[in-house]
Structure 1
Amino acid sequence: MNRPRRTAKLSDLIRPRTIGFAVGAVIVLAFGTAAIAGNSGRTELAQDVSAVGEFSTPTAAPAPAPAPKKTPTETFTTAVATEAVPYAQTAVDDPNRDAGTSVITQVGANGVRTKTFRVTLHDGKEVSREQVSDIVTTPAVDEVTAVGSYVAPVVEAPAPAPAPVDNGCDPNYSGQCVPIASDVDCAGGSGNGPAYTGGPVYVVGTDVYQLDRDGDGVACDA
């Protein structure tokens, strides 16, 4: 059976194409938006990576500026130092002291020397000192020793009495014969003998009979 042929309408031809074009446009728009979003994400990721890199790399701190050099405060003071001045030792002759003996008649004592200095300080610390005076404030006292020089004269031993002679006269006397007896007195004197001698009689030894009363060496001279 033959069916009648259908004639296409203009509206039927245009509608499918319009719908296809609209769908295509939507798809293109969707892909474009995704691409833009993708590019934006990559850009933000690159920025984040760049930020992380900048944070992780330390930056060297600048060197501190040198501190200005401080000029020290200069002050002055005075210092005093003392030292001993040794005493000298001297000896003097003492004729009243026996030779070979000595004695200290004056005790020695050290003196004192005083030195004064001008001291320079920087911030309270000593950096130099200069001597400005040197004076012996206490003189030393010398030690004096007396050295004896006295020598006693030599006393000669008395000559031994002469031996008695056989003439019966005592050899301790001369000028007159003084008999050897228990006692002898000057003739004409107050003595009672038993023997007597005339004068003058010179004592040449020991006056055994004590005839020389005045000790002038001459007996029985009155």
Structure 2
Amino acid sequence: MNESIHPEAAMLGGSPSEPHKSQVLGLKDLVLQSMLSLVLWQSSCLSLSSTRAIDGVPMPSRYSTAGMTKMLMMRMLMMKMLLTALCGQLSPSIMAFSGKFEFESEKNYDEFMKGLGVSEDVTTKARNLKITTEIQQNGQDFTWIQSYSGTNIMTNKFTIGKESEIQTVGGKKFKATLKLENGKVVVDLPNFHQTSEIVGDKLVEIFTSGGVTYERISKRLA
């Protein structure tokens, strides 16, 4: 058996508890406040446009009511585009992984283990392990901690897009470059493919090897 592709020895199991939501909301509030200030300012300009002066300073003829309205609409459109861009930068695909998760369910476990050449006895023992995963994420930097029944703890640190040293639960180490694709952390090895993503309050991991796929779902604890 190639220990590096054992599902219980995979580097990822799947850490701030969804900080992306508060950060996005903070940005939204900031942009919305700016939009409100802009509307109030433009409204003041509109109310004074008939006098052609603001604070005693003559207003150019182009600042007609129609012109001011057009400027207001253009600036609001720009602020909306800015809000969309800022929220996109902190989308769940970037910041959603942080948290602590506990094993909840799995699919196709026995067939997958059999395909890896794992004995029935080991397969049974591995099934009874209580797997807890804690993820700490800071931008593109991850710390991925897995605990197996509280006795065997495996910690891996990696940066998306950079080659990192990954250790399996069996102690084996190898080099791998992890990617972030469509909100999923992806691991690609010659005979192993793994994706990890957050779906609602679940950590969903899918392992594929030799044409057989195994899915593990963990529920969020924190």
Give the TM-score taking structure 1 as reference length: 0.18
Greater fraction of residues in helix: 2
Give the TM-score taking structure 2 as reference length: 0.18
Which structure has the higher relative contact order (CA within 8 Å, separation 6+)?
2
